Amino acid sequence: MAKRTRHLTDAEQLCNNIVLGMTEKKGEEIAIIDLREIKNAIADFFVICTGTSDPHTDALAYNVEKQVHLNMQQDPFKKEGFENKEWILLDYVDVVVHVFRADKRNFYSLEKLWGDAPIKYVTE
pLDDT tens by residue, 76-98:
999 999 999 999 999 999 999 99
- Give yes or no for residue 123 having a pLDDT over 70: yes
Q: What is the model's pTM?
A: 0.91
CA 50, CA 115: separation in Å to the nearest integer? 18
The domain locations on the chain are 10-108
Q: Which long-range contacts (CB under 8 A, 24 or more apart) does 108-111 make?
A: 110/33, 110/46, 110/48, 111/31, 111/33, 111/48
CATH number, domain 10-108, options 3.30.365.10, 3.30.460.10, 3.40.640.10, 3.40.190.10: 3.30.460.10
- Condensed to tens digits (0 to 9), the pLDDT of residues 6-26 reads 556 799 999 999 999 999 999
